[in-house]
Structure 1
Amino acid sequence: MKIANRALQVAISVSVAVSGVIHAYLYIHGYRDIPTVGPAFLAQGSVFCALAVLILVGGPAWTQLAAAAGAAGSLVAFALSRTVGLFGFIETGWQPSPYAAITVVTEVLTLLLVGMTALRQRPRPSKDLPLHQGADGADEPSPRGG
């Protein structure tokens, strides 16, 4: 495994773990009493910590996709809880401070890092493939290799 890929894997794992630990902490320190939202914090904390371990030890690619989906969902839930409410739960601003800001940063970071990983792993044309001219006149790899 290349060093850059491993560094991305570790960074994703750390960002997911931080979000998971904060959600578990908030569950223990008061959110457990909030209907629907409390159990969601417990579930997210548990799932994110498990995903962080799986990503760190080189789990399958779906673990990173699951982390990105969870991070995106968490950001949507955060926005809803500060605007129209989420299951009747409404918060204002960046409360609880500093946890709200830290989780938003880690979840955005998770999305960016998983996106970078996806871009690094996309298939690239081989330099050995012959080129043909595309409709726009630019050279492109031949779709049939010849």
Structure 2
Amino acid sequence: MAIRIVAAVAVLISAIIHLEQWILVFRDTPYVGPAMLTNFIVGLIIVALLLWWRTSRVPWVLTVLFGAATLGAFLISATVGLFGVHEHWTIWEVWVAAIVEVVAIITGLVGFAQRPAARR
């Protein structure tokens, strides 16, 4: 159960950071703006699935994919640029998001490796 909570918190923090960045920076940025808002919404859905759908491994797969896709997009943005956005490792939100995305990937893999809870 603890791994599920850690995964949910990691995904939630990442989602909130993406909402904050959408509001403050990317609201009017083509492609990246809608992706940031979508990331927030999908993150909330994954958190709900992690907390309430305990009989399936699907939430764990989604957690890994969420973390990997979000971290991957940021790394592309920080190296070669992504849709005209070239991010830098300068603000605290970037570091926190990167850390919680790694946590999401790791906890998602650990949770997936565990047996799903029995149906009640």
Q: Shorter-chain-normalised TM-score: which range?
A: 0.7 to 0.9
More strand by share: 1
Matched residue type, 2:62: A
Query: Among residues 91, 101, 105, which one is paired with 2:95 in the alignment?
Result: 101
The answer to whether residue 86 in structure 2 is matched with residue 55 in structure 1 is no
Aligned ranges 1:5-44 → 2 under 5 Å: 6-44=1-39
- Paired with 1:115 and 1:67, the residues of 2 have a C-alpha distance of 8
| 1:144 aligned residue | none
What are the within-5 Å matches in structure 2 for residues 83-122 of structure 1? 83-92=79-88, 94-95=89-90, 97-121=91-115
Structure with the greater alpha carbon radius of gyration: 1
Supply the AA of the counterpart residue of 2:43: F
Distance 1:19 1:29 in 2: 15
Aligned CA-pair RMSD: 1.5
1:125 corresponds in structure 2 to none
Structure 1 residue 34: deviation in Å?
Answer: 1.3
Alpha-carbon distance in structure 2 between the residues aligned to 1:90 and 1:120: 38
Q: In 2, Cα distance between the equivalents of 1:10 and 1:81?
A: 29
The structure where helix makes up a greater share of residues is 2
3-state SS, counterpart of residue 114 of structure 2: helix
What's the CA shift for 1:120?
3.1
Structure 2: runs of 5 or more not aligned: none
Gaps of 5+ in 1: 1-5, 123-146
TM-score by structure 2 length? 0.88
Q: Closer, same or farther in 2 for the Cα pair 1:118/1:64, shift >3 Å? A: closer
**Deviation at 1:53?**
1.6
Higher relative contact order (CA 8 A, sep 6+): 2
- Seq. identity, %: 29
Aligned residues: 115
Structure 1-normalised TM-score? Answer: 0.73
